[in-house]
Amino acid sequence: MVRWLAGAAIALSMTTTAVADVVKFEKVTDNVYAFIGEINDRTKANLGLNANIGLVVTDAGAVIIDTGAGPLSAAAIEQAAQKITDQKIVAVFNTGSQDHRWLGNDYFAQRGATVYAMDTTVATQQAMLDSILNRIKGVDEIFHDQTPMHAPEPLTGPNASVTIGSTVFEVKYFNDAHFPGDVVIWLPQSEVLFSGDHVYVDRLLGVHPHTDAVKWVDAYDQMIQLPAKYIVPGHGAVSDKAKVQRETGDYLAQLVEAIMAVQEDFGAIDDVTPSRDWSQFQHLRHYDGWHGRNVSNTFMRLEMQ
Ligand SMILES: [Zn+2]
């Protein structure tokens, strides 16, 4: 009995330490912080947090942007936030519908936070729920205890504004991006843009079978007009506009343009990559694994149109 208790206590404390170490918020500018997640795959060790999370400290409480892949990652986010501020977490926002953007909603709601998401985002969270859950269940048993919770009163798109204390959060849907219904959160007062999965830096973005790259280009082109001083991307380090343009905007535009040109000439998927110079993107992590997939997923979708 004593031995079992000691074992359980050690296991528990190890879990607590491991969880507490996963998330660390770094300052972006006054009262705005970001956790920059790993740019590799979701694992048990990163609690599914291979994505970025935001923390904004207002004079009416703390606000989290994207809530993590479930209760464990939400707890890690909460603990990391408490190291920055002793303010209670009063609200959370979702920028998208992938697991790590919203499956921690229930955890924060149970502790009194209001959950904000736009109607376009909630529609995708609902439509893709089974595939979202199935995808992460394969990773590890720590992803099995999700309680999916959607914003009870979704914001009406395409532009919504929520003021918490004296801080304004503008939620903007431009067009479908990485997932249908993705939004960005724009903080006009501090000129910080939480771009969600509209932007990937340091690693190559991913075009999935459900991703419409043409719409993503359109969403990106509108988004990049915002006078952002700091962009917290969906994945990769906090960046300025120039880096975001080089690593997301230029790649997306070239991908779509190259495929359209090949299709106009009745060419095949294999003609796309040799038709352009991609060397400026080859340093991005996962280029070797993802570029080919991006070409074929985009090619096939454009062919259907
Ligand atoms: Zn993502």
Rounded Cα gap, residues 133 and 100, in angstroms: 11
Whether 207 shows a pLDDT value over 60: the answer reads yes
Torsion of CA 289, 136, 180, 95, to 10 degrees: -100
- pLDDT, mean of residues 197-212: 97
Q: How far is the CA of 10 from the centre of ligand 1 (A)?
A: 34
Give me the pLDDT at residue 42, please: 87
* Residue 20 pLDDT level (bands cut at 50, 70, 90): low
Give me the pLDDT at residue 10, please: 40
Q: Give residue-wise pLDDT tens across range 256-296.
A: 999 999 999 999 999 999 999 999 999 999 999 999 999 99
Q: How far is the CA of 266 from the centre of ligand 1 (A)?
A: 33
Give me the pLDDT at residue 15, please: 54
Percent of the chain predicted with pLDDT > 70: 93
Contact between 248 and 257 under an 8 Å Cβ cutoff? The reply is no
Whether 130 shows a pLDDT value over 80: the answer reads yes
Give me the pLDDT at residue 141, please: 76
Q: How far is the CA of 99 from the centre of ligand 1 (A)?
A: 9
Give me the pLDDT at residue 127, please: 97
Whether 9 shows a pLDDT value over 70: the answer reads no
Average pLDDT, whole number, for the chain?
Answer: 93
Give me the pLDDT at residue 2, please: 40
Contact between 146 and 204 under an 8 Å Cβ cutoff? The reply is no
Whether 220 shows a pLDDT value over 70: the answer reads yes
- pLDDT, mean of residues 156-179: 98
Measure Cα distances from 186 to 51, 66, 153 in Å. 18, 14, 20
Q: How far is the CA of 30 from the centre of ligand 1 (A)?
A: 26
Q: How far is the CA of 51 from the centre of ligand 1 (A)?
A: 6
* Residue 4 pLDDT level (bands cut at 50, 70, 90): very low
- Output 119 or 146, whichever has higher pLDDT: 119
Q: How far is the CA of 260 from the centre of ligand 1 (A)?
A: 26
Q: How far is the CA of 134 from the centre of ligand 1 (A)?
A: 16
**Structural domains present in the chain:** 17-240 (3.60.15.10)
Q: How far is the CA of 9 from the centre of ligand 1 (A)?
A: 35
Q: How far is the CA of 98 from the centre of ligand 1 (A)?
A: 7
Q: How far is the CA of 42 from the centre of ligand 1 (A)?
A: 10
- pLDDT, mean of residues 70-99: 96
Measure Cα distances from 253 to 43, 173, 260, 280 in Å. 31, 19, 11, 13
Within 8 A by CB and 6+ apart from 127, the residues are: none
- pLDDT, mean of residues 92-107: 97
* Residue 16 pLDDT level (bands cut at 50, 70, 90): low
Give me the pLDDT at residue 17, please: 52
